[in-house]
Structure 1
Amino acid sequence: MIKRSFIGITAPRLTYEVIEEAPAEPMTVRPAKRITLLMDAPMEKTSGVLLKSGDAVQKGQRLQLFENNPVPCAISPVAGKIESVEPFLGIMERQMTAVVIALEGSEDQSRDTEFKNVFKSAGLSEADRFLRELPGRPDFSVFTRPDRPVKTIAVMGTEQDLTAVTQQYLIGTNIAGVKTGIDVLRKITGIQNIQLVVYPHMVQVAGSSGAGIKTVDLQYPAGSTDMIRMALKAKQEENTEVAFFTAEAAVAVGAALQTGELPVDKLLTVVRKDGTRQLIKAPVGTHVSDILEAVRQSVEAGDRVVLGGPMTGHAVFSLEQPITTDTDILMIQDHADLPEFSDIPCTNCGSCVRVCPVNIPVNELVRYLDAGEYEQAAENASLFACIDCGLCAYVCESRIPILQFIALAKHAVQRLKAAEEENA
């Protein structure tokens, strides 16, 4: 029997972590020599590329990759010079571009002023241009779709995976910043119905946010965006949307529109090998190696480094991998504690079906995926209804990595559909 390690932790908890007492201030981590910014677009070797090796950049500067496309961009969290602009292969062969910036100058060096010149009159257009790559990755593009108008904004004070406490920390320690962000979102979007989503123990402090309060159970995955979307859309008209912002994104948007400076530091939860947590604050693009050194965690042969939590995270294979604007958890797992999975086929025990929060026939889905029949899985077994919570893989008696199989299948179907549309 072939046995291989499976992403997870020794004893995963199926309820979200709760901050009962005020935690310590986050540890500040600074990159040693360079940072890497990932842009969500394939690198094209054309004359339209605006970023080149040797270009000087300022802290807070908006870096646009292509001359004729404003979407692939990033905000530089440091002052320095571009070392390289190269293709980068992300999860599931996602074609991206990596911009490596070597640090130069001091922390108090002057910042770029492009946004400061327009922030006082900023509307949706400026927000989409300048704020989309702030910490928390606020998405303003959803407000530009007239066929699916947004009726509700949900600000998420809950976590998307177990072990994280990133959003809770901001609700508990910076509710004034969250309120500022909510006020700004109302002003620039015109949406008045804003709901702050929190766990029951956070209701009292959340009450001063100026938003409506929606509480969710501590049972995972009740606090996920997909579960909240279903709950909120059930109360709306058909063909309308809910826009989501994390508490961190709301704080960043509020700070940007209040000060004219673009926030560049990401807050994330680091989970050490022994399971203890450390909140850290580091510039977007900081390499995993710099963070591990700061929290005094060494990586030995067989250990696993995971971006994301134990249920939905992805292992990384280089310590030069950077944190991104939506990285909330960095987890280090000791090789001795890693659970294993085997090549035993599905036994049809039904555990995955019983635990699925959206009632997918997971046992049927697994059979389609095992046979490589991805389109049939989408048509007959609700492949795209999956919210990627990972509960099915957690309870699987055969230790099948179902979540990874589902991700692969979704990727394959989407690639096939894109190819068909391109050749039509």
Structure 2
Amino acid sequence: MKEQVDLLRVENLGKAYRDYESEWHRFASWAGVRFTPKNESWVLRGVSFAMGCGEAIGIVGQNGAGKSTLLKLITGVLRATEGSIELSGRVAAILELGMGFNPDMTGRQNVYHAAGLMGFSAQEIHSRIDEIEDFAEIGEYFEQSMRTYSSGMQMRVAFSVATAFRPDILIVDEALSVGDAYFQHKCFERIRQFQKDGTSLLIVSHDRGAVQALCSRAILLEQGVLVKDGEPQAVMDFYNAIIAEKESVTVRTNRRSDGRVQTISGTGEAVVERISLLDVSGTEVEFMGVGQKACLLVEVRALSSIPRLVLGYMLKDRLGQVVFGTNTHHTGQAQLDVAAGELLQFKIEFAMNLGPGSYSISTALVSADTHLQNNYEWRDLALVFNVHNSNLPVFIGSSWMAPEIEIARP
């Protein structure tokens, strides 16, 4: 069996910002002389993980969790206070916009400058300069001063030069979020091609869809500490639960019989007692055909008196990306003055216009339009079912959109 090679290994990594009594104490501390700092603030501590060849890891967490600090430590922009980092292979990084660019130089000049800092010779850069210009698609601005660029144009040039040569490890911070939708598609397509060719990816993003589509693994940072490392859907579900709770004291995880990790959070003032998928005959099923009529039956028990109760649900594909979701706040069916002990039965009928595959349903019991206020219960993977195509024309994709095709041969 071939041994897994780690391109990146992080061990007990930590970063602290310290204030000393004097600048002399600070300089002496860099030389290894121990002085007790006047103030010490840890932004990252005790972080350990490894990344193998061709692996893609998403780093998620709230603002201030330490995500960007972690990437800057890995790329050498910042110096670690404790711990170690081992890197193998060539690294390309897209961190803060404008990093490594001179605003008084043109886009073309900045490409030569930035690629030179990455270790490429003038001849190597010259061989790719036309490709970089074409990929960035900023037209005549490529020959103008970069101080005239919008943030989106800066990102176009930064991504184009960073990915002009396929790296062993590609590290991307939130910079991609400033681009327009068209260029984001181009970026993700190039990233996917790099992954096919063996590049490892480390990406920071708040975009659940991007993390789950690109990554085979996710890491959750909370207040500078690594709190979860695992399959992207499970990590993102846990992350969403923490956001809803503000504190993770009521967040619970269970491993289902199919191996997937279910996250449940909330105050427990209302709970889902039963959830079933029914066919047209009212029979509970786990498999449904494309286009068939379906009924989602959800029974909710109020364990406390609730002034306003809203049921929300989301239908997700096997990667955890949302296919459809709504709630009874948006449909104008919020239930008022629900008594403690009362049972409510929701029947949600819809056509199963989905592509073949495995799907799950998440439920939310809240008081308004989101689970960020009065989260009574949030339940991921509340129900898992499969869709198959037995009697419709062959098609691909996640949705069945029955076409009417007219053909003329005048």
Give your verdict on TM over 0.5: no
User: Which TM-score applies when normalising by structure 1?
Assistant: 0.24
Higher relative CO (Cα under 8 Å, sequence separation at least 6) belongs to 1
Structure 1 or 2: larger helix share?
1
